[in-house]
């Protein structure tokens, strides 16, 4: 019985890492897609529109599968998720991408695992070992060092917006993952989107441009991607992965996101990717193995 329990726990942990990796791959396209979209869309409109579109889809899913409404005690956690990952992170990154390239902003994602781990301790009750923090801090320090030597020469405002986005996103990831253990991964993001839907829908109409005739195809594609994949589908896998494999542990997979994102920025947007960016992304990726080993 003990061996069987250990095997089931190992399978669940592996499933968490697989789901988490799928979520990271989906999120890797978020910043390049946002960069494309803000070329024609106002950042505030883009933020509200993506949330409203995803909210309508989420409402349809909840109704189709006849999901039970969350308990009253879950509403505060859902509000935190909505304010952080539905509104805060998309808006702050969209504003930042008015000042910096997506390739530059992607490097900041290397700080997200540390933020997620910290909030995983505060909100999820996890207690990783000291060695885990050493690997996590090393990866984050590499990213922060790159930003300080290259980023602040480009746009201090853009970097500050990205840093704020990372902090609030870490909170939303940890809060949503803890709640997913009770409600389920796709249910958490769906209820959070529905909770924000009335306000996001009203703001979408209020901030809608007078004419959309000049909006190019790439901008519409960017809006579609961040609405469907970044705002909904990615979270289905991500929250499930965090809940199964641990917030702090699986959260370290985000160290791989800059590498995937830089490849997309280079291939799709023809943005310059320096060798320093590639070196930093590769270095922080190496920290994932060490952090994973000492996460529990």
pLDDT at 3 (0 to 100): 47
Q: How far is CA 266 from CA 34, 106, 122, 131, in A?
A: 15, 12, 37, 34
| Mean pLDDT over each residue of the chain, to the nearest integer | 86
Phi-psi label, residue 286: left if phi above 0, alpha if psi -120 to 50, beta otherwise: alpha
Q: What is the pTM of this model?
A: 0.86
Q: Indicate whether 98 pLDDT > 50.
A: yes
More confident residue, 172 or 13: 172
User: What is the maximum span of the chain, computed from C-alpha positions, in angstroms?
Assistant: 66
Tell me: the pLDDT tens digits for 33-91? 998 999 999 999 999 999 999 999 999 999 999 998 999 999 999 999 999 999 999 99
Tell me: the pLDDT tens digits for 102-160? 767 777 877 888 899 999 888 877 888 888 888 888 887 887 676 666 545 567 888 88
């Amino acid at each position: 019985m003990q061996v069987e329990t250990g095997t089931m726990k190992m399978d669940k942990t592996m499933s968490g890492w697989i789901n988490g990796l799928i979520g990271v791959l989906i999120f890797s396209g978020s910043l390049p897609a946002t960069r494309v979209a803000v070329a024609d869309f106002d950042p505030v409109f883009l933020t509200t529109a993506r949330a409203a579109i995803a909210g309508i889809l989420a409402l349809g899913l909840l109704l189709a599968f006849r999901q039970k409404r969350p308990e009253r005690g879950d509403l505060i956690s859902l509000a935190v998720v909505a304010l952080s990952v539905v509104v805060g992170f998309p808006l702050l990154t969209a504003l930042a991408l008015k000042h910096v390239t997506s390739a530059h902003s992607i490097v900041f994602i290397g700080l997200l695992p540390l933020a997620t781990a910290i909030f995983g301790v505060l909100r999820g009750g996890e207690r990783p070992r000291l060695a885990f923090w050493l690997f996590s801090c090393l990866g984050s320090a590499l990213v922060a060092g790159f930003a300080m030597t290259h980023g602040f020469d480009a746009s201090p405002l853009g970097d500050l917006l990205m840093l704020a986005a990372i902090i609030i996103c870490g909170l939303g990831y940890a809060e949503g993952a803890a709640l997913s253990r009770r409600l389920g991964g796709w249910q958490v993001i769906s209820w959070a989107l529905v909770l924000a839907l009335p306000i996001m829908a009203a703001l979408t109409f209020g901030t809608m441009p007078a004419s959309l005739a000049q909006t190019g195809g790439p901008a519409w594609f960017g809006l579609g991607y961040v609405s469907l994949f970044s705002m909904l589908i990615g979270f289905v896998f991500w929250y499930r992965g965090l809940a199964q494999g641990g917030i702090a542990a699986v959260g370290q997979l985000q160290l791989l996101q800059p590498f995937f994102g830089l490849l997309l920025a280079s291939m799709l947007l023809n943005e310059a990717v320096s060798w320093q960016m590639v070196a930093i992304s590769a270095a922080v990726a190496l920290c994932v193995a060490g952090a994973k080993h000492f996460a529990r």
